[in-house]
Amino acid sequence: MNEQELLLQLNEKFKQPSLTFGFWKDSRLPTAYIANRFCRGAVTLYGAHVLSYIPDGQKDLLMVSEKSLFEPPIGIRGGIPVCWPWFGPDPAPPHGIARIQFWELKNAVSQPDGSDTLTFELTVTDPHELTVSLEVNFGAALTVAVTTVNNGKTSYLLGEAIHTYFKVGEIEKTLIRGLGGATLDNRLTKQSSIAPDVFGFQEETDNIYHSDATVMIEDPVLKRKIKVEKQFSRDTVVWNPWIAKSQKMENFGDEEYHGMVCVEAANCFGHRVDLAPGAKHTLIQKISTSAL
């Protein structure tokens, strides 16, 4: 079945007043477009990758690089990549395989409150027999739940992150609150320390906080706060590539670091989830915005 036929099938099976299907921009990625009383949004079957979440009256909460490619098997740069079933650069591909596979849309429901819930699923046998589902609710908040089931006969050490690229007006004026007191592993200096209550950005930042605390991103330029709430997430990742790394990164503009910050619910490295045969684990992240 080609992409056009897939779109037809998706519209026949799931189309409803608040949900239609089309290609993302000038790509051939089949994408669900949501428009309800709370928000507009978009999520593609490629990677079950959320690309946009625009609460009424707001700018998009998510940033997608102007330089991102939308061509499998390249990962999309921006939005909400699902890092699974491992987090980090090793083994290849970096951050796992889920983001560069087409998932199946299993269900799409317009909820009684007017929000929309879509459920995607992917089953793999390598590096282990696993099934992952992503349930995303587009409402007054955006809630993403990633559930993994171990279908194998042995345990699997699951690494995962909901690797969210948030749009900010200017990273140098953006503040992060909520992680104070947590152990902070700086992946650049390989040093650990105790995190301050509030911090700003003056350089490349790639930190893992041993914390599931709610994070507030304060953006005085866009005059908004973004709340990032997490469940079953032992780590929070905070990342901005800054100048040199932005220049080195593919599919990312040299100046785009000014307009983004990643804050990610995660279970990674020493906090991977030891999933026994038949066991299930869910990682949840909820984002919402209010005036600053």
Residue with tokens 């992409």: 3
* Catalytic status, residue 71: no
In angstroms, what is the minimal distance from the CB of 237 to ligand TA6?
Answer: 5
* Catalytic status, residue 281: no
Taking CA atoms, 38 is separated from 20, 109, 290, in Å, by: 16, 15, 13
Indicate the residue among 115 and 205 with the shorter CB distance to ligand TA6: 205
Indicate the residue among 80 and 108 with the shorter CB distance to ligand TA6: 80
Dihedral of alpha carbons 19, 264, 103, 154, sign: negative
Indicate the residue among 39 and 262 with the shorter CB distance to ligand TA6: 262
The residues binding ligand TA6 (CB under 6 A) are 75, 77, 81, 94-95, 163, 206, 237, 239, 262, 264
In whole angstroms, give the CA distance from residue 209 to residue 75: 25
In angstroms, what is the minimal distance from the CB of 137 to ligand TA6?
Answer: 23
In angstroms, what is the minimal distance from the CB of 87 to ligand TA6?
Answer: 7
Nearest residue to ligand TA6 on Cβ basis: 239
Please, what's the b/e burial string for 36-64 (b: 16 or more CB within 10 A of its CB; e: otherwise)? bebbbbbbbbbbbbbbbbbbeebebbbbb
Q: Which of 135, 160, 256, 264 is catalytic?
A: 264
In angstroms, what is the minimal distance from the CB of 229 to ligand TA6?
Answer: 19
Indicate the residue among 40 and 245 with the shorter CB distance to ligand TA6: 245
Q: Which of 163, 229, 256, 258 is catalytic?
A: 163
Which of 2, 48, 52, 44 is CA-nearest to residue 22?
44
Active site residues: 163, 264
